[in-house]
């Protein structure tokens, strides 16, 4: 038997809402559903990292939708603004400090893993990835785009 795992995170969806969503109700009738109890802070990247790692922000390290990077270990360099940067919504997988479900599936079961729109999955080890990654232009505008693995998958 070919087992599949589908994990959906739909903010605001309640069990009683499934009665008006027949396709989703049919999918959940043969599986398991669970209520999400969010951690603090209850914002997108930390909560999705809770789901994909099974751990809390104090273990996986994602505490906001933005990241603060300090590129050097020396105290002098840490005081220099050129060695610090804040990024919003860049979502690199390297920032997550705990194994994620796709890592566990591949390591323990040798299974292929696919990730669709899970935040903090950019450059992760899953076989197939699709995540939003808009292109920011110098004039402040942006173009819709997705980060995908394999690279040409979006096209």
Residues in the chain, overall count: 155
pLDDT tens for the chain, 155 residues long, are 566 777 777 778 888 898 899 988 888 888 777 777 778 888 888 988 998 999 999 999 999 888 877 665 555 545 555 556 777 777 888 899 999 988 888 877 777 778 888 888 888 888 888 888 888 888 989 898 888 999 888 87
The pTM score is: 0.74
> What's the confidence (pLDDT) of residue 152?
86
Q: How far apart are CA 146 and CA 134, in angstroms?
A: 7
Q: Any residues with CB less than 8 A from the CB of 105 and at least 6 apart, and which?
A: 5, 111, 113
**pLDDT attached to residue 127:** 85
The Cα 152–Cα 130 span in angstroms is 11
């Amino acid at each position: 038997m070919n087992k599949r795992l589908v994990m959906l995170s739909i903010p605001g969806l309640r069990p009683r809402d499934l009665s008006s969503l027949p396709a989703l109700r049919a999918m959940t009738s043969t599986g398991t559903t669970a209520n999400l109890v969010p951690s603090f802070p209850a914002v997108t990247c930390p909560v999705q990292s809770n789901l994909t790692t099974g751990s809390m922000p104090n273990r996986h390290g994602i505490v906001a939708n933005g990241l603060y990077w300090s590129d050097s270990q020396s105290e002098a360099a840490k005081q220099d603004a050129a060695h610090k940067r804040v990024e919003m919504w860049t979502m690199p997988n390297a920032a997550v400090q705990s194994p994620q479900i796709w890592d566990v599936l591949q390591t323990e079961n040798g299974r292929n893993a696919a990730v669709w729109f899970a935040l903090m999955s950019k450059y992760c080890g899953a076989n197939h990835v699709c995540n939003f990654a808009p292109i920011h232009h110098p004039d402040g505008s942006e173009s819709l785009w997705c980060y995908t693995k394999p690279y040409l998958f979006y096209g």
